[in-house]
Amino acid sequence: MATILEAKGLSKSFGAVTAANDINARIEQDSVVGLIGSNGAGKTTFINMVTGYLKPSAGTILYQDRDITGMQPRRVTQLGICRSFQIPQLFNTLSVYENIRVGVGIAGRSRSAPRQSEPEARAQIDRLIEDFGLGGYRTQAAGLLPEGVRKALDIAMAVAGRPRVLLLDEPTSGVSADEKFRLMDMVMSALAAQRVTVLFVEHDMDIVSRYTHRILAFYEGRIIADGEPQEVLQHAEVLRYVIGEQLHVSAGKEASRAAD
């Protein structure tokens, strides 16, 4: 499979604090990759560097073999990498429909693709609203929505950019436990028709093991494990530094869910 995104020796320091330390990773096209690690381990820093919010102190980022290190977020997005945010970044005074419309409008006028027509744009907006379960909130102001819906909208806006690579920063954080799977199912089926490479940061190991082909485990700015979910989630260091007690608990949850 072709490599769509590659990080080589990526590092980032803020004075004495090392947020990222020699990160090397090759992401294959159309794969779904989970990024795990405790808070401050470097996952969001990684996303911020890839999307241009932070300039790496060292290393390079290649997207489709093209060096995008240090490129402005706007350019990175135009090239096809979109992201969602830990804290939803929405247009709070605009309605759900208008939020998505802005995203679709920008993407539809991007230089890399032919100009999208008005009916096409409208169809895309309707499709996104439906795929992300936002139909009931169509005309409501984004600032007044419940948290789970805000998250869904935030992701929908990223998807509106018709990305080749989608980076989701903690898509299910702040969402209630029973909603998490519903949200991820929604996101994944919305992406099913398109060829999108997905990377998402996640703390919930159930979610990570369910949806990913591969996991990158971060700790103190380094990648301590990189491989298939079963492998990584049993990895000694990962168990010690990332999961701790959790796997034990979630194993119990899996068992009880299977029993239902």
What residue ranges bind another protein (CB under 8 A)? Answer: 44, 48, 51, 53, 72-74, 77-78, 82-83, 85-87, 89-95, 97-98, 101-103, 105-107, 109-110, 118, 138-139, 141, 157, 160-161, 169
Q: Which long-range contacts (CB under 8 A, 24 or more apart) does 9-16 make?
A: 9/58, 9/59, 9/60, 10/46, 10/49, 10/56, 10/58, 10/59, 10/60, 10/61, 11/56, 11/57, 11/58, 11/59, 11/221, 12/45, 12/49, 12/54, 12/56, 12/57, 12/221, 13/57
Which is nearer to another protein, 34 or 163 (by Cβ)? 163
The least CB distance from residue 143 to another protein, in Å, is 9
The least CB distance from residue 92 to another protein, in Å, is 5
The answer to whether 96 and 139 have CB atoms below 8 angstroms apart is yes
Strands 165-169 and 81-83: parallel
Which one-letter amino acid corresponds to residue 107? Answer: A
The least CB distance from residue 89 to another protein, in Å, is 4
Which is nearer to another protein, 3 or 38 (by Cβ)? 38
Which is nearer to another protein, 5 or 238 (by Cβ)? 5
Which is nearer to another protein, 62 or 79 (by Cβ)? 79
Which is nearer to another protein, 105 or 133 (by Cβ)? 105
Closest listed residue to residue 187, CA positions, set 154, 231, 139, 164? 154
The least CB distance from residue 164 to another protein, in Å, is 13
Which is nearer to another protein, 63 or 209 (by Cβ)? 63
The least CB distance from residue 136 to another protein, in Å, is 14
Which is nearer to another protein, 76 or 242 (by Cβ)? 76
Residue 59: helix, strand or coil by DSSP? strand
> Which residue has 């950019």 as its token pair?
161
The least CB distance from residue 176 to another protein, in Å, is 23
Structure tokens at 184: 């991820």
Q: Cα–Cα distance between 164 and 48 in angstroms, integer?
A: 17
Which one-letter amino acid corresponds to residue 149? Answer: V
The least CB distance from residue 207 to another protein, in Å, is 21
